[in-house]
Structure 1
Amino acid sequence: MGSFIGVFSIVILKERCIKVYDSMSSSRTNRKFSFEIQKLFKILSKYLESSGFFEQNDRTNWSVLESYQGRKKSHPFEVKCVTDIAQQTSNNCGFFVVVYVEFLNDGLQIPPYGIISQYLRMRYVSLL
Structure 2
Amino acid sequence: MFGIPAGLPWHLADEVYVPTNCNEEFHWVLAVVVLKERHIKVYDSMSSSRTNRKLCAKIQKLSTMLPKYLESSGFFEQKDRTNWSVLESYQGKNKSHSFEVIHVTGIAQQASNSLLYFLIDDIPCSDYGVFVATYAEFLSDGLQIPSDGIISQSLRLRYALLL
Partner of 2:50: 28
The Cα shift of 1:3 comes to: 4.6
Report Cα offsets for 1:45-103 as digits up to 9, x if no partner: 11111222101111111111000011001000111111111111213111111111111
Q: Is the 8 A contact 1:5 1:23 kept in 2?
A: no
Partner of 2:91: 69
* Mapping 1:29-44, distance limit 5 Å: 29-44=51-66
Paired residue type of 2:157: M
* Mapping 1:49-88, distance limit 5 Å: 49-88=71-110
The Cα shift of 1:127 comes to: 3.2
Structure with the bigger RCO (C-alpha within 8 Å, sep 6+) is: 1
- Amino-acid identity (%): 69
Higher helix share: 1
Higher strand share: 2
> Gaps spanning 5+ residues in structure 2: where?
1-23, 115-125
**Residue 14 (1) aligns with residue 36 (2):** yes
Q: Is the 8 A contact 1:7 1:20 kept in 2?
A: yes
Q: How far apart, CA to CA, are the structure 1 residues paired with 2:151 and 2:61?
A: 34
**Number of equivalences:** 127
Name the SS of the counterpart of 1:79 in structure 2: strand
Name the SS of the counterpart of 2:41 in structure 1: strand
Q: Report the more deviating stretch, 104-113 or 116-125.
A: 116-125
Q: Is the 8 A contact 1:6 1:24 kept in 2?
A: no
* TM-score, normalisation: structure 2: 0.72
Q: Is the 8 A contact 1:48 1:54 kept in 2?
A: yes
Q: Report the more deviating stretch, 69-78 or 82-91.
A: 82-91
Name the SS of the counterpart of 1:109 in structure 2: coil
Q: How far apart, CA to CA, are the structure 2 residues paired with 1:85 and 1:34?
A: 18
> Gaps spanning 5+ residues in structure 1: where?
none
* TM-score, normalisation: structure 1: 0.90
